[in-house]
Amino acid sequence: MVHVRTVCTVILMFIIALTAQAASAAGMLKEIKTGGGATPRVEFVTDRQPGEVSCYTMPQLRRAMVDLYDIEPGQMMPVVPADTSLIKRVTVERRTINGRVLSRAIIDLARDAEISVAPHPVEKTRIFAMLKPLPAAGAPSPPVAPVKEGKKAAASSAPAAAKAPAAAKVPESKSPEKAPAKQPLQPVVPSFGPPPVVRDVKVGSESIEIVAQTAIERFTTFTLTNPGRLVIDIAPGGSSLAAKEVAINRFGVRKLRVGTHPDKVRLVLDADRATFPVHALQRVGSGLKISFGSVTPAGRK
What local confidence, expressed as pLDDT, does residue 200 receive?
Answer: 95
Which residue, 36, 114, 53, is CA-closest to 285?
114
pLDDT tens digit sequence for 31-50: 998 887 777 889 999 999 89
Where residue 139 falls among pLDDT bands split at 50, 70, 90? low
Distance of CA 103 to the CA centre of its chain: 17
What local confidence, expressed as pLDDT, does residue 283 receive?
Answer: 86
pLDDT tens digit sequence for 94-116: 998 888 899 999 999 988 888 88
Class of residue 180 by CB neighbours under 10 A (exposed 0-12, middle 13-18, buried 19+): exposed
C-alpha 204/C-alpha 198 separation (Å) is 17
C-alpha 122/C-alpha 125 separation (Å) is 9
Model's pTM, two decimal places?
0.47
Which residue, 228, 293, 238, 225, is CA-closest to 265?
238
Is the pLDDT higher at 144 or at 25? Answer: 25
What local confidence, expressed as pLDDT, does residue 155 receive?
Answer: 44
| Mean pLDDT on 179-195 | 56
What local confidence, expressed as pLDDT, does residue 163 receive?
Answer: 52
Residue-range domains of the chain with CATH: 17-134 (2.60.40.3500), 194-292 (2.60.40)
Q: Is the pLDDT of residue 144 over 70?
A: no
Which amino acid type is present at position 130?
A: M
Where residue 151 falls among pLDDT bands split at 50, 70, 90? very low
Q: Are 27 and 74 in contact (CB under 8 A)?
A: no
Report which DSSP code applies to 124: T
Q: Is the pLDDT of residue 293 over 80?
A: no
